[in-house]
């Protein structure tokens, strides 16, 4: 499919842009352009692909997404490489997962090639927005929503795919500082048969009240337990978890449909195995977590995702009070793994699995 290219009539001047990306924060500033592709089931599917100025979109107040939340998204980053190019990390995985989410939300799939073309196109025109600061990247946010004006409850017949980009620094203030985790007892994130494995906005909407509860209790993030037994650790609101033991075993909760299959998670499983660690994808309970941390055989816990990369969990506030993980600081394996993953993503270390796609 050809993209109609409509350049921005008044892009942000270079100087202003340089100032903005010197300390961008996370998700607060945006680049000059966006990609839009429309879908109409009655007009043969995807059509009218364009690269244009980033601007507000006109939406009918009856657009189905505003009523029934038919929406999915992805999150990925373009990184500066030492040779001056920009690189993506496993972008084909995002394309594939976008379509897995689409299927679960009864939305049309976007051909993987079209997804990847849109990414390359936007990074091509707005790559100059990529921060050069340590930990900086151009965060890419592809999303799709039901735009049909119709209040009946059924899958919409019209959708919009949009891609925007946002220069980012670190996700958490304070960089890779250990985070404090709140165990949500009153709320769950996803139930068996639900939408937990789809990257859809509703999962995030449902996580906001428990997230506020966590913040009121002095925590940074929330860990969700399974909805059936309220016993098994699932994930944070937007990050997967790994538990590291003193005998070289690492546990991460299995992908049973209630957890988002993170690309960072999958990459860490590979990297940990390459390091000779024994990675097991199996259920791990909240009570065991506490017992193992107190006993000292659980030495590290890390949270991972595209936005925050690899972040150490320093302490946990549960119904029986607080416990810390190891010394409460950043563990050796967490540190080493973060360096390795960031090194691969930024071209500083070898990429034997060919995960990086240079642009």
Interacting residue ranges for ligand PLP, rule: CB under 6 A: 75, 199, 235, 238-240, 260, 262-265, 305-306
Task: Please state, in angstroms and rounded to a whole number, the distance separating the CA atoms of residues 311 and 322.
Answer: 19
Task: Please state, in angstroms and rounded to a whole number, the distance separating the CA atoms of residues 54 and 38.
Answer: 16
Instruction: Provide the H-helix boundaries in 224-307.
Output: 263-274, 286-295
Contacts of 144 (CB under 8 A, 6+ apart): 39, 71, 72, 73, 98, 102, 107, 110, 159, 160, 161, 162
Residue 62 carries which DSSP code?
T
Report in angstroms how near the CB of residue 245 gets to ligand PLP at its nearest: 22
Report in angstroms how near the CB of residue 201 gets to ligand PLP at its nearest: 10
* Residue (49 or 76) nearer to ligand PLP, CB: 76
Report in angstroms how near the CB of residue 13 gets to ligand PLP at its nearest: 32
* Residue (239 or 251) nearer to ligand PLP, CB: 239
Report in angstroms how near the CB of residue 263 gets to ligand PLP at its nearest: 3
* Residue (34 or 304) nearer to ligand PLP, CB: 304
Task: Please state, in angstroms and rounded to a whole number, the distance separating the CA atoms of residues 33 and 283.
Answer: 43
* Residue (308 or 333) nearer to ligand PLP, CB: 308
With CA atoms as reference, report the closest residue to 74 among 124, 110, 127.
Answer: 110
* Residue (33 or 265) nearer to ligand PLP, CB: 265
Which residues lie across from 4 on neighbouring strands? 50
Report in angstroms how near the CB of residue 239 gets to ligand PLP at its nearest: 5
* Residue (51 or 342) nearer to ligand PLP, CB: 342
Report in angstroms how near the CB of residue 139 gets to ligand PLP at its nearest: 11
Contacts of 9 (CB under 8 A, 6+ apart): 53
């Amino acid at each position: 499919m050809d993209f109609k290219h409509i350049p921005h009539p008044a892009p942000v001047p270079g100087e202003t842009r340089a100032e903005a990306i010197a300390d961008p924060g996370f998700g607060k500033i945006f680049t000059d352009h966006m990609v839009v592709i429309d879908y109409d089931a009655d007009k043969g599917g995807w059509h009218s692909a364009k690269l244009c100025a980033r601007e507000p979109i006109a939406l009918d107040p009856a657009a189905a997404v505003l009523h029934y939340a038919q929406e999915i998204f992805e999150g990925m980053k373009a990184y500066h490489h030492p040779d001056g190019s920009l690189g993506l990390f496993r972008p084909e995985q995002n394309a594939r997962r976008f379509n897995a989410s689409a299927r679960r939300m009864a939305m049309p799939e976007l051909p993987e090639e079209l997804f990847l073309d849109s990414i390359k196109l936007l990074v091509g025109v707005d790559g100059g927005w990529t921060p050069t600061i340590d930990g900086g990247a151009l965060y890419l946010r592809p999303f799709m929503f039901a735009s049909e004006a119709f209040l009946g409850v059924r899958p919409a017949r019209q959708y919009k795919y949009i891609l925007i980009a946002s220069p980012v620094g670190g996700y958490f203030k304070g960089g890779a500082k250990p985070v404090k985790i709140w165990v949500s007892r009153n709320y769950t994130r996803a139930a068996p048969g639900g939408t937990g494995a789809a990257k859809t906005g509703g999962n995030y909407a449902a996580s906001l009240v428990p997230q506020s509860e966590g913040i009121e209790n002095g925590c940074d993030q929330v860990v969700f337990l399974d909805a059936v037994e309220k016993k098994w650790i699932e994930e944070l609101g937007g990050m997967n978890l790994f538990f590291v033991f003193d005998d070289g075993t690492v546990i991460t909760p299995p992908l049973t449909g209630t957890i988002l299959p993170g690309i960072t998670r999958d990459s860490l499983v590979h990297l940990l195995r390459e390091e000779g660690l024994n990675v097991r994808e199996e259920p791990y309970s909240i009570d065991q977590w506490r017992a193992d941390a107190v006993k000292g055989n659980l030495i590290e816990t890390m949270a991972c995702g595209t936005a925050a990369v690899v972040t150490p969990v320093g302490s946990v506030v549960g119904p029986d009070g607080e416990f810390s993980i190891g010394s409460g600081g950043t563990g050796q394996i967490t540190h080493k793994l973060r360096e390795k993953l960031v090194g691969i993503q930024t071209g500083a270390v070898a990429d034997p699995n060919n995960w990086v796609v240079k642009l």
